[in-house]
Amino acid sequence: MRQLLIVDDEFIAVEGIKSGVNWQEIGISRLFEAYGPEQAKDMFRAERIDIMLCDIEMPQGTGLELLEWVREHYPATETIFLTCHADFGYAKQAIHLGSLDYLLKPIPYPDLEEAIKRAIRKLDQETQLNEFSRYGKYWVQHQPMLIEKFWLDILRQTIPGAAAAVTKAAEERNIPYSSEMTFVAVLIHVRRWHKEMTIQDEKIMEYAIRKSAEELLLGDLEHGIAIMLGEGYMLLLLNGEAELAETSKLRAACGGFVEACRAYFYAGVICYIGDSAPGHQMASMFHKLRKLDIDNVSHDEGVYSLHDPQTPAPLQLPPDMSVWSVLLLEGAEHKLLDAAEDYLKQQVSLSRLSAELLNRFIQDFNQMVYYALQVKGIQAHRLFGDEESMELHHSATRSATDASKWIRHVVGKSVQFLSTIDQSQSLVDRAKAYIREHLADDVSREDIAGHVFLNPDYLTRIFKKETGLSVSDYILRQRLGIAAELLAGTDLPVGAIAGKVGYANFSHFSRMFKKHYECGPVEYRSLHQSRNS
């Protein structure tokens, strides 16, 4: 029997919890209560506390802070959090700190009882581990990792896909396995997040998703194993003898899991269910499920299996995009986006959107956009060479959703820049500003063109049209003009002035200055300073 501590600053809440559960029946022999973190710490010092049922928000300190203290001083205690707010930050911290569960008030008593039973089962398992010998303790503690490594080697075919080879590998690693066992593979893919996440947030949510999959789809861990594959993928291997392995039950459970991921973890998740097969065939089964995922470019959530009707879509050609290029050049952003996204939606609704068609569509769309940019002298690699653009382009053929993101990005950026092309003076002004900022540098025509995303020849044409000067002549005049001002108005050495306007060679500077002003820089200074004195 276990001992439980209720921590809540509200007396009525504590009494309601105490009276709402048959504690003896679920395995709790003694019940303690505390009305703040400090009183709770005193209770820990005085009694053995197996389970802490704790409110998060209390005037004297949060439950999260109390859990940090408990983790440091009484790490064997299991904690279940209670709160009135479904706050993402709280849930994330609770998972990060090792809370067993997170329940929202008002708490249905059956849910609370089930959470406490899970805590007791976990405590009992840990107690059993402590009774093993030193080797046995090591084995039990590390067995999940060793078993996961065993299955990863099967999936990667480091262990050959033959029954005898798999059985031999299991015996050598002391893994419980029989060639007569069968398994049902479920490939889970987190296709996207519905909320902006940091990398740390994603890791925490992936851990939570794994725990949810183990509980909803495996139940007791003896019924199977969850294998993390990276990049949002996880493979469940469900014992073929388990009750949930029956197809209709498994499909329903997977549907509930997908809904839970969307509701609680902000994740778009797809489950692909394989056939029942022996362990040595799991690599082949995994590749079949992986192909289902690769071919699925239409949906970001749902449950699918190898036996779903799969009528191959007739090979389609992408639409004629000649009108779209006109819309792009005319700046009709919304009409173009509507046309492109309506096409994708139509292909999805008619079950025609295959991975091959999506790939062709994106290639043709990119060609259409790049041609329109080329007409205006814009170099696409300069406009879309940033990290965000490259990432969106890389993902564009993965799904219709990713394709739409890329289309919105590339069209929006293109239309915005094309509008500046029609105002060539603004481009020339930007080029002039860049020249002024880099007069001391060895700036080239290509550098300036790159700054305004234009082909160098195209920039030269519009620059000369607006200024009457070539880019190089403009740079020369700017440099010599500033040099003349510095010579006339300062006592800076002539060599220092040459360096400030981009001339490392003093002789070259003198020649160019004399050619432009018909006198050398020293003579120019003497003449102008004597006039001002």
Residues 6+ apart with CB under 8 A from 375: 329
Return the pLDDT at 138.
42
For residues 214 and 257, state if they share a domain: yes
The SS3 of residue 55 is strand
For residue 528, the domain's CATH number is: 1.10.10.60
pTM of the complete model beyond 0.85: no
User: Contact 61/36 with Cβ under 8 angstroms?
Assistant: yes
For residues 75 and 169, state if they share a domain: no
Q: Does some domain include residue 384?
A: yes
Dump pLDDT digits (tens) for 244-276: 767 888 999 999 999 999 999 999 999 999 999
Return the pLDDT at 27.
93
Is the pLDDT confidence value at 512 over 70?
Answer: yes
- Write the burial class of residue 530 (CB in 10 Å: 0-12 exposed, 13-18 middle, 19+ buried): exposed
Q: Which H/E stretch holds residue 355?
A: helix 355-375
Domain that holds residue 20: 2-130
Return the pLDDT at 133.
39
User: Rounded distance, CA 13 to CA 396, Å?
Assistant: 52
For residues 149 and 250, state if they share a domain: yes
Strand segments, DSSP code E, in 11-126 are 28-34, 51-55, 78-83, 101-104
* Counted domains in the chain: 4
Dump pLDDT digits (tens) for 458-501: 888 888 888 888 888 888 888 888 888 888 888 889 888 888 88
- Write the burial class of residue 267 (CB in 10 Å: 0-12 exposed, 13-18 middle, 19+ buried): buried
Q: Does some domain include residue 313?
A: no
For residues 266 and 289, state if they share a domain: yes
For residues 164 and 269, state if they share a domain: yes
One-letter amino acid identity for 168? Answer: K
